[in-house]
Amino acid sequence: MMYHTQMEAAKAGVITEAMEIVAKKERMEPEKLRELVAKGWVAIPANINHKSLSPEGIGTGMRTKINVNLGISGDCKDYDAEMEKVKMSIRYGAEAIMDLSNYGKTNTFRKKLIEMSPAMIGTVPMYDAIGYLEKDLLEIKAEDFLKVVEAHAKEGVDFMTIHAGINRRCVEALKRDKRTMNIVSRGGSLLFAWMEMTGNENPFYEHFDEVLDILYKYDVTVSLGDALRPGCIDDSSDAGQISELIELGALTKRAWDRNVQVMIEGPGHMAINEIAANMQLEKRICHNAPFYVLGPVVTDIFPGYDHITAAIGGAIAASSGADFLCYVTPAEHLRLPDVNDVREGIMATKIAAHAADIAKGIPGAREQDDLMAQARHKLDWEEMFKIAADGEKARRYFESVPPQDRHSCSMCGKMCAVRTTNMILEGKKVTFCSEK
């Protein structure tokens, strides 16, 4: 029997090739992973048409994964520059890349991306609808949106952000409980505008079963988007955000019943003291579906440094239950990120993910850290550079002000604490004035 999706196979007791690969990466027994996929607690986004994919698991017991957002805009339409960002993202170990292009005929870039990328590819069909259909927002019909979903699925996209939760009930909650920033989700704002101008229900909510039919056909994971995510810390955990989360929980069960894998998207901007509770709330309301968070950004006054504000929130979120972190770059809120911004965003998010994995006791998470400690104990710089997540940068910093003695660095020199202690424990004398 042919199983269209990873979840369908898992429910039937079948361990797929993708499950075998993920289990090996995660140091988990394949049967245990199969059980988690069958329950929906782990998603393996793997479109049947993405032939270059190296599958990854997202969810309970898995390493925290990171996503990089890329794409063409009307103001920045340099396809070569975006492809350089893609190559960098893969080189630095991002497990997922979202193509958020919203200008022109985006499928040329997307097809090339899917053809060469071992990372999971995600999209937001709502972004592409206007350019793909060549219609103004008011002219687009419900069936038109489904055409874009089908086109992305057929091309090989592994997961799609579908803002199906912002229905009329959620809009009423939003209007009743006024916000400082209103709606900051691009896709959510477009759907809200379409609903208000046409008087119709959200087409992705109204026709959710038809969306699921498309996703099932190609084994695309639905990433249920948080159209009402908070865009400032003043709006976090409000009625709009929580009412949409309740709708996403109901949609999760509907998707699982149709053997479509699910991820839930979350905030956003949020003060540190609210993060852990929000992670637990999502896991409870959405039946332990994998949680995919943007940040959270923990303070609103550091534009230019939001890779740091987001990494702080991401580390807390992931250690409290989030499974998938969307990177944030220094350019967030300011402009389309350049290659350097992408690098900084990736590394900040990887720090958050890795720190959380250590806290959660993920198998093997501490191994590299322990090796680094051993290399530092020996003051073995070459070994340190080899172990470091970004050894190239570490070497560049070390060699920019080279020490006189390679057994230390230029900060402490011969007064290096490690050197001093090692010498004493080896029975040697420590002297400074007489040393040449």
- Where on the phi/psi map is residue 303: left (φ > 0), alpha (ψ -120 to 50), or beta? beta
Classified as helix, coil or strand, 150 is: helix
Residue 416 annotated as binding site = yes
Tell whether 31 is in a known binding site. no
Other beta carbons within 10 angstroms of residue 433's beta carbon come to: 4
CA separation for the pair 157, 223 (Å, rounded): 12
* Cβ neighbourhood burial of 176 (10 Å; 0-12, 13-18, 19+): exposed
69 is in an annotated binding site: yes
Q: How far apart are CA 368 and CA 425, in angstroms?
A: 25
Q: Judge contact between 297 and 307, C-beta under 8 A.
A: no
Closest CA to 98 of 126, 77, 68: 68
272, 231 in Cβ contact below 8 A?
A: no
Given a contact cutoff of 8 angstroms between Cβ atoms, the answer to whether 127 and 102 are in contact is yes
Residue 293 to residue 271: CA distance in whole angstroms? 14
Contacts of 20 (CB under 8 A, 6+ apart): 30
Amino acid at 385: F
Q: Is 156 left (phi over 0), alpha (psi -120 to 50) or beta?
A: left
Run of H or E including 315? helix 306-319
| Residue 187, marked binder | yes
Annotated binding residue 269? yes
In whole angstroms, how far apart are CA 380 and each of 367, 371, 421, 430? 17, 11, 15, 20
The answer to the question of whether 185 is labelled as a binding residue is: yes
Element (H, E) at 292: strand 291-294
Q: Which of 50, 49, 48, 57 is nearest to 2 (CA)?
A: 48
- List the beta bridge partners of residue 99: 70, 123
**Does residue 232 have a known ligand-binding role?**
no
- Sequence-distant (6+) residues with CB within 8 A of 25 are 56, 57, 63
407 is in an annotated binding site: no
Establish whether 307 is an annotated binding residue. no
Name which of 134, 107, 141, 135 is nearest 121 in CA terms: 107
Binding-site sequence positions: 69, 98, 127, 163, 185-187, 226-229, 265, 269, 292, 333, 409, 412, 416
Binding-site sequence positions for Zn(2+): 269, 333
Binding-site sequence positions for substrate: 69, 98, 127, 163, 185-187, 226-229, 265, 292
Binding-site sequence positions for [4Fe-4S] cluster: 409, 412, 416
